[in-house]
Amino acid sequence: MSLESLIVGVLGAGQMGRGITVSCLLAGYKIFLYDKQTELLKISLGKIETSLKKLHERQSISKEQMESALANLAFYPNLDQMQTANIFIEAIPEDYSIKGQLFRELSGMLTSEKILASNTSSLSITKLAKNVVYPENFVGLHFMNPAEIMPLVEIIPGAQTNESTLKKIELFCKSIGKTTVLSKDTPGFIVNRLLIPMINEAIYVLYQEIATAADIDKAMKLGASFPQGPLALADMIGLDTCLAILQIMTKEYNNLKYTPCPLLEKYVIEGKLGRKTNEGFYKY
């Protein structure tokens, strides 16, 4: 797999898929963005254009870079249109069955030379690999949110991931300006194993009426040098995503310390998911 001729197929046009797409476009790669929801593809085009325009306005990229990035982007509502991609990065919801179904559908266009990566934040790469035709070429990539800005990517090998795949994916991540860390295949990996329980505890502090959301966040920003408070961060990540990670960790570790706060469950049921729905612990 030559980085110079690489075509990246991003599977999923949601928040993370868009961020990964922008990161790859800024590195000069040609991108195929797939989602079976054609309306979501249209929305994504507008949001990707907005992201690139903002970067241009901030003088982070030139007008020529912005135009080149948009010229390198193609949208596809059918998987069979992705045949010529060399590397696939999946960024769909955190669910074994949904991801597994997509991987089985993708199997016909994978070869021993192509890499498939899952942008999962908590699911087992080894378990997901059971749905993959070349498990040695399958790897976990956990981009932070927002993916186009955050510099870190966690690389997670499954039980069958080979060294060649790890080396190639590390080079790819570096080529799009990311710093990588290697994690064993355990629920939550490094960042979410530490971060999500802390967010959950902050939600408990709010739930038990110890302090307001604003004061909780202010305390952690000014008292612990956090750049952003844990509740504002939860809104940015998505409360549904936080809940899903906690549920997975509770089950996989068989440990009640990861039990989601009832207030988090309540907000998700009510559709208050954070920034993506314009309301979570704060209104946007």
- At 59, which CATH number? 3.40.50.720
Respond yes or no: is residue 56 known to be catalytic. no
Domain span holding position 40? 3-182
For residue 196, what are the CA distances in angstroms to 126, 146, 156, 243?
22, 16, 18, 9
Of 182, 216, 239, which residue is a domain's last?
A: 182
Give yes or no: residues 158 and 230 share one domain: no
Give yes or no: residues 29 and 118 share one domain: yes
- Residue 2: its pLDDT value, please? 58
Choose, from 90, 94, 148, 154, the residue flagged as catalytic: 154
Give yes or no: residues 171 and 218 share one domain: no
- Residue 140: its pLDDT value, please? 98
Give yes or no: residues 37 and 171 share one domain: yes
Of 165, 182, 199, which residue is a domain's last?
A: 182
- Residue 5: its pLDDT value, please? 80
Cα radius of gyration (the chain) = 19
- Residue 3: its pLDDT value, please? 65
Residue 21 lies in a domain: yes
Which residues, other chains included, contact 37 with Cβ-Cβ below 8 Å and sequence gap of 6+?
A: 13, 77
d(CA 120, CA 94): 7
For residue 147, what are the CA distances in angstroms to 173, 177, 255?
12, 11, 30
Choose, from 118, 142, 148, 183, the residue flagged as catalytic: 142
DSSP-derived 3-state class of residue 30: strand
Respond yes or no: is residue 142 known to be catalytic. yes
d(CA 141, CA 214): 33
Give yes or no: residues 166 and 200 share one domain: no
Residue 89 lies in a domain: yes
Q: What CATH number should be reported for the domain holding residue 273? A: 1.10.1040.10
Residue 282 lies in a domain: no
Give yes or no: residues 127 and 208 share one domain: no
- Residue 145: its pLDDT value, please? 87
Give yes or no: residues 138 and 239 share one domain: no
Respond yes or no: is residue 200 known to be catalytic. no
Of 162, 182, 202, which residue is a domain's last?
A: 182
Residue 64 lies in a domain: yes
Choose, from 51, 118, 137, 192, the residue flagged as catalytic: 192
How many domains is the chain partitioned into structurally?
2
Question: Which ranges of the chain have pLDDT less than 70?
Answer: 1-4
By the 10 Å C-beta count (0-12 exposed, 13-18 middle, 19+ buried), 156 is classed as: buried
Give yes or no: residues 204 and 221 share one domain: yes
The 10s digit of each residue's pLDDT in 180-227 is: 999 999 999 999 999 999 999 999 999 999 999 999 999 999 999 999
C-beta separation of 19 from 148 below 8 A: yes
d(CA 90, CA 277): 23
Closest CA to 147 of 27, 24, 233, 61: 24
The 10s digit of each residue's pLDDT in 96-127 is: 999 999 999 999 999 999 999 999 988 999 99
Residue 85 lies in a domain: yes
Q: Concatenated DSSP letters for 80-110? A: GGGTT-SEEEE---S-HHHHHHHHHHHGGG-
Strands (E), the chain: 7-11, 30-34, 73-76, 87-90, 115-118, 138-143, 152-157, 179-182
Respond yes or no: is residue 265 known to be catalytic. no
Give yes or no: residues 73 and 103 share one domain: yes
Give yes or no: residues 32 and 124 share one domain: yes
Give yes or no: residues 177 and 198 share one domain: no
C-beta separation of 280 from 242 below 8 A: no
Give yes or no: residues 155 and 41 share one domain: yes
Choose, from 44, 119, 121, 124, the residue flagged as catalytic: 121
Residue 284 lies in a domain: no
Residue 233 lies in a domain: yes
- Residue 4: its pLDDT value, please? 66
- Residue 248: its pLDDT value, please? 92
